[in-house]
Chain A
Amino acid sequence: MMNNDYNGKSYTFRWAPMTGFDGAKFAIFNDDGSTSYPDWEYEVIAAVKHVPGGNRTIRQSMGTGPATVTYSVWCDSRAEYDKLRAKQGVSGVLRVIANMQSIRGTQRKVQNVNYEDISNVILTQLSGAKFDPDGPVEARATFMAPINTLTGTTS
């Protein structure tokens, strides 16, 4: 566990220096000071129609939308942020600390930390960047992944 106080704000991270997306490294933090990750969300798409003259409603399930998640990320340097920014719209591997979210990826241990590599992830948006003259950049990164709701995997 790491605590950084920066510009009067306190950031709490789990120590996981290899967290990142497609080679661009960052740390994931929570504004509320907790160390849990927000989880992926997906929409079950359905058309719902009422049958007039009765009490019947027809609900037609039309499958599941892609899973999305938005992380608050901390890039150690402007260079790391630039790398991440260049990955917008790119499909790649998201590496996060293992067992911290619902998608089941490939687990691997690096520098004594258990990570989970999630493939087929797209960085759809990078927003709210806050730059510091000393280098670190804080931003919000939104990822999208296909999800098999039965297996919890992205394939």
Chain B
Amino acid sequence: MTDIVNLTYYGAVNVNGTAVDWESISTSHGKDQPIGQATIQAIKPLPAGVDIGSAVQITAGYYGGMQSNIFRGRVSSFQDAFSDSGNTVSLKCEGELWKMKNPQENAVNLEYSVPTKLSDIIRVLLDLRSVSPYLVDEIRTSDLSDPSYLYIRLGGLLFAGDESKIIPSQASLLSWATQKCELFGYYLYDTPSGQVRVSRISGKPSGTAVMTFTEGLDIYSVTRNSDSAQIYNYVEVLGAKYLDTNAVPVQIRSVPASVPSNADINPPGYRKLRVSDNWIVRNREANSARLVKELDFGARLVEESWETWGNPDIQPGDIISIISPSTNPQYATNNKRWVTSVSHSLTDRGWNTSISAWAGGGTTLPEATDCVTQTIAGGATFHIGDQVRPNFNQTNPYGIEAQINFSVAATYTSLSLSGYIHGSNSPLYNDENGNKIWKNLSRVEVWQSGVRVSSVDLPAYYDSPIDSYASIPTNWVRFTIPLAGTLATGTGQLRIIAGEGVDNQEGKSFDDFEVTGMSVRTCGVGQPVLP
């Protein structure tokens, strides 16, 4: 039994609100093509006033059935032609997001002084250029099942520098916004309906399919491409690099703990993708960006494209199902996809809609520990100096120098020492012993293989002659200092040295202070186990 679906369709082109006769229409929208495009082959004469900038709306549908916009935007260029084919004009049109294309140039930079929801930043940028209508989904961390599924916030960290919080006036707002969205698996794009969207198109879609396309029923032709060229199963995300309040270098970074081998790219079984963005100022966002890339690039790219008869209701970002046993043997269980692009063609050969769809095939990997903290000398308390101090935790001095070994990881980006302290460089704090000249301040030196690598003075802290330091941490101060220099893998040595003063009358003397609970924190050490 044969089946004939008899449809009567129409396509209407309105320019500046006036109908235009046309010979052919083509439109295209997609997640990787933020600005929608349309080409209208129109028949002259055009209505008066049609020019670059004229508002364009294209509607298509079936009499008695569905009908919707398939394009909304403006004329961006046109070409008049006169030949045996007649006097025609080809109108090239661009979607609403064209307004975001150009930089502000002479305007002031856009600055975000606190970490701000990315979705709110995008809304502000869209409003700035009067883009309308738009629907911006909340941009969240990648794992929907994660209880910490939270808003993505970017920029605004005081210490991280301008490149982490300022959108330069010379930047294209569209490029800036699309790049930031894509970091987290979201896309900014025009849609055939005319609404500008920001939505998540990442991983495997879990929602309900808006439509199912089935071989033999509503697919004229279908292709399925499988490609190993885009596989990146080892993803490193680097965020801002800055000095924190203690002047300790911080490099926001996320890498996986281990990378499973991928047979499609073996040897070596992995391919690295490094993503770097200074607007990422927290580890949460770095980790989320990494998980997104693992979902979307961790496995071979499989993309289906098919042609069906005109369908005005499919938008990029929709979830659809495609049942094509001829191209996908796993069609019964693996058929949900994100629509990545939609194009319409209305010609004398009919109205056809081409759709491309995809789903991320990768899986997320646990994060490697990027910072390691090792306790120094078992957290022991050291009284550095040369005086007996009854109110100290350790009444008798350990000596004017303590040498403590620690291990150095293979690679690192920052090294810092933390602990509790009191009384270091107190003469500077207490402003005492006015006639004493301090030759050296109390300090921490880092040594390796008999060579001094770096030296940093300890901060000046109050030294009370009457307060008791017996009970830690009462009256003690928490401190963190950066340890500069580069150390080779192996053993390093900390030398905690008392400051040395010279008094005109009393001769040489030393600063007395105590440190306890010391630990060395090494960051940037996370290295995945590779296949």
Contact = CB atoms under 8 A, between A and B. Distances in A.
Nearest to B215: A53
A58 B349 CA distance: 12
Interface in A1-52: 45, 47, 49, 51-52
A51 B217 contact: yes
Contacts of A47: 348-351
A60 B219 contact: no
Given A51-B218, A53-B216, A58 B309 contact: yes
B6 A61 contact: yes
Contact of B220 (A51, A59, A61): A51
B395 interface: no
A59 B3 contact: no
A60 B348 contact: no
A59 B217 contact: no
B5 A56 contact: yes
A55 interface: yes
B5 to A, nearest CB: 5
Nearest to A60: B350
A57 B9 CA distance: 16
B8 interface: yes
Contacts, number: 63
A116 to B, nearest CB: 29
A45 B216 CA distance: 25
Q: How large is the interface on A (under 10, 10 to 19, 20 to 34, 35 or more residues)?
A: 10 to 19
B4 A51 contact: no
A150 interface: no
B12 to A, nearest CB: 13
Most chain B CB within a 10 A radius of its CB, from A51, A55, A57, A61: A51
A110 interface: no
Contacts of A62: 8-9, 348, 350
Contacts of B217: 51, 54, 56
Given A47-B349, A49-B350, A61-B8, A55 B3 contact: yes
B172 to A, nearest CB: 40
Contacts of A55: 1-3
B391 interface: no
Most chain B CB within a 10 A radius of its CB, from A45, A54, A57, A58: A58
Nearest to B349: A47
Contacts of A45: 348
Contact of A57 (B4, B221, B310, B351): B4
Contacts of A60: 7-9, 309-310, 350-351
B5 A59 contact: yes
Nearest to B6: A59
Nearest to A45: B348
B333 interface: no
Contacts of A58: 4-5, 7, 309
A49 B351 CA distance: 11
B431 to A, nearest CB: 91
A52 B220 contact: yes
Contact of B216 (A51, A57, A59, A61): A51
Nearest to B9: A60
Interface string B346-384: 001111000000000000000000000000000000000
- 3 residue pairs, one from A and one from B, having the closest CB atoms: A47-B350, A54-B216, A53-B216
16 contacts: A45-B348, A47-B350, A51-B216, A51-B217, A51-B219, A52-B216, A53-B216, A54-B3, A56-B217, A57-B2, A59-B7, A60-B350, A60-B351, A61-B8, A62-B9, A62-B348
Given A47-B350, A56-B5, A59-B7, 20 more contacts: A49-B220, A49-B350, A51-B216, A51-B217, A51-B220, A52-B216, A53-B215, A54-B215, A54-B216, A55-B1, A56-B4, A57-B5, A58-B5, A58-B7, A60-B309, A60-B351, A61-B6, A62-B8, A62-B348, A62-B350
